[in-house]
Amino acid sequence: MSSIETFKTEDSLMAPFFNKQKISIERGEGVYVFDEEGNRYLDFTGGWGVTSLGHAHPVILDALLEQGKKIIQNPNSGLTYSPARAKLLTVLREILPDHLTKIFFTNSGAESNDAAIKLARKTTGRTDVISAHGSFHGRTISTASATGQSKHRDKFHPLMPNYRFVEFNHLAAIERAMDGSVAAVILEPVQGEGGVRVPAKNYLKEVEKLCHKNGSLLIADEIQTGFCRMGPMFVTASLGVKADILTLAKGIAGGFPFGAFAVSKRVAEKIEIGDHGGTYCGNPLGCAVSYAVIQYLIKNRISENVLKMSKLALQHLSKTKNKYPDMILEIRGKGLLLLIDFGSEPMATQVKNTCLTNGLMVTQTNGTGIRVFPALTIEEQELEEGLAILDQVIAMISKCS
């Protein structure tokens, strides 16, 4: 097929949930992707945060091939044991905070959050969940109801009840919302889809204290921030925060659809047979890929690369902001989850589209932002190439405005 044929087929047959850019990606290699005509693009989208090792990474391909030749899905699924699952559980137990004693696997971040909310209510015997304005926790009806952005929530009434929303990074707001009906507080360590909002350093730790004082659970949504995206393996662990439930996905398997959640002993002790499940719940193929990705992150010290590349990117972007103060309001973020806030949605859209025509794929976030969100394995020369294209595009638009 050609790109034109692919456009026609998808436009006529696929449910219209996306306003797509006219580009049909056929293959990828590292931080680069190629369309059906062979044109090359540098990927600063990270597949929305999942392609942590880039595209077509050999360790993922080897894991897929080796496990695929053995077994992909267990007979009787979760009712049988799996050596692939046991290996992944072992490596996760080594990197997760010590207080998180039990782990379960899902198909996605939304499913992980959905299960966390369900188990928080069961564990505490309470109904209400506090979430933050600007948050994003998924697209199931339960997690959409927990998401603090009206555009993702308000058209799907009736929503699930018993969610309360407070200002992000505002301890007093959470304290005021606390009472004997609150089962849990669910928070992202950094709001990704909400515009890459980084809270005060002590925010999550203080929320943890408020939760424990009130008898509520803290659910840390590390779906976007986990697995070295911000530098540390997990942001909560680096801050000394002991979440009762930690939800994981995206970078956990380098692009293979996979997720997980880990729970504290307090939660695990109240879990009973039948409280949760799933057809896949850690299928051998997903477990093998996730194990290979996590081992690669550890052995190759990807955390160090993230911190190095982040420092370079922030220095570069700060200089760009100083050159174009009328266009760029703010540079924010940590690790390789960074955002350029243009303050204007039309301008951000123009930057995104012009970047594409110049060989760089970027994600527009929360209307006015452009994310720098590449693979965690990106090298200095590749990072500089992408940032140079961004500079050229911003300079071009500045001249024309």
- pLDDT averaged over consecutive 10-residue blocks of the chain (401 residues)? 89 90 94 96 95 97 98 92 97 96 96 97 97 96 92 89 97 97 98 95 97 98 97 97 98 97 96 90 96 98 98 97 95 97 95 97 95 97 98 92 70
Q: Which of 259, 280, 299 is the last residue of a domain?
A: 299
Same-domain status, 246 and 311: no
Number of domains making up the chain: 2
Same-domain status, 287 and 364: no
Same-domain status, 331 and 262: no
Read off the CATH number of the domain in which 315 is found: 3.90.1150.10
Give the per-residue pLDDT at 64.
98
Given 136, 165, 261, 342, the catalytic residue? 136
**In sequence order, which residues have a C-beta less than 8 Å from that of residue 21 and are 6 or more positions away?**
353, 356
Query: Range of 358's domain?
Result: 3-57+301-400
User: Two tokens at 160?
Assistant: 């699930």
Q: Which of 299, 321, 355 is the last residue of a domain?
A: 299
Give the per-residue pLDDT at 372.
96
Same-domain status, 29 and 134: no
Same-domain status, 259 and 122: yes
Say if residues 305 and 336 touch (Cβ distance below 8 Å): no
Give the per-residue pLDDT at 153.
87
Give the per-residue pLDDT at 20.
87
Say if residues 41 and 26 touch (Cβ distance below 8 Å): no
Same-domain status, 252 and 337: no
Read off the CATH number of the domain in which 130 is found: 3.40.640.10
User: Two tokens at 137?
Assistant: 């926790």
Give the per-residue pLDDT at 1.
65
Give the per-residue pLDDT at 181.
98
- Is 341 catalytic? The answer is no
How far apart CA 235 and CA 239 sit, in angstroms, is 6
Given 114, 221, 244, 341, the catalytic residue? 221
Given 250, 341, 342, 373, the catalytic residue? 250
Same-domain status, 52 and 107: no
| Closest of 380, 325, 383, 391 to residue 358, by C-alpha | 391
Q: Alpha helix locations (H) across 167-301?
A: 171-177, 203-214, 235-238, 265-268, 284-299
Extended beta strands in 180-336, E state = 182-187, 217-221, 245-248, 259-264, 330-334
- Is 136 catalytic? The answer is yes
Give the C-alpha distances (Å, rounded to integers) separating 216 from 74, 121, 130, 145, 188. Answer: 36, 10, 10, 19, 17
User: Two tokens at 286?
Assistant: 């997903």
**In sequence order, which residues have a C-beta less than 8 Å from that of residue 115 and are 6 or more positions away?**
104, 106, 261, 276
- Is 221 catalytic? The answer is yes
Q: Which of 299, 317, 347 is the last residue of a domain?
A: 299
Same-domain status, 341 and 204: no
How far apart CA 209 and CA 174 sit, in angstroms, is 11
